[in-house]
């Protein structure tokens, strides 16, 4: 387990989990730090990633763009998880308008997200 400045990272059953700190607003600077912390923790090994978005209260447009492009290095699939109906709707919209390099989906239920990621484990 690794505790970064903006989140906690751990690997379980071949899946990398990311749990963000509460009340996090993701600026471009924060997005770059999140990606750097994650990649350092991964030590150049590719993983499917489960991101719990419940701690995030906002994200700047340039940060979202960065995370979709450069921020997906060493990720072979991404499951976004949130229990907030508003966050789910906004993320669904965001996923439709941006071209993602890797398979990416949002889930309300953790078990569905885990099932989605399982084929990508090595």
Query: Which CATH number does the domain housing residue 74 bear?
Result: 3.30.750.24
Give dist(CA 85, CA 108) in Å, integer. Answer: 8
Assessment of whether the complete model's pTM goes beyond 0.95 = no
Q: How many degrees, rounded to 5, is the angle at CA 80 between CA 30 and CA 15? A: 95
Residues 6+ positions from 29 with CB-CB distance below 8 Å: none
In the prediction, which pLDDT does 92 show? 80
Residue 98 has pLDDT above 90, yes or no: no
Q: Please state the rounded mean pLDDT for residues 104-108.
A: 92
More confident residue, 21 or 90: 21
Number of domains in the chain: 1
Domain extent at residue 50: 2-120
Which of 64, 63, 74 shows the shortest CA–CA distance to 41?
Answer: 74
């Amino acid at each position: 387990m690794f505790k970064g400045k903006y989140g906690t990272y751990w690997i379980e059953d071949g899946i990398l989990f990311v749990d963000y700190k509460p009340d996090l607003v993701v600026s471009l600077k924060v997005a770059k730090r999140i990606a750097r912390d994650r990649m350092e923790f991964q030590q150049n090994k590719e993983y499917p990633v489960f991101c719990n978005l419940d701690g995030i209260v906002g994200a700047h447009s340039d940060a979202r763009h960065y995370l979709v492009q450069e921020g997906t290095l060493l990720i072979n699939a991404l499951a976004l998880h949130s229990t907030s109906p508003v966050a789910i709707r906004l993320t669904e919209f965001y996923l439709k308008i941006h071209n993602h390099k890797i398979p990416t989906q949002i889930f309300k239920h953790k078990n569905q997200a885990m099932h989605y990621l399982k084929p990508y484990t090595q």
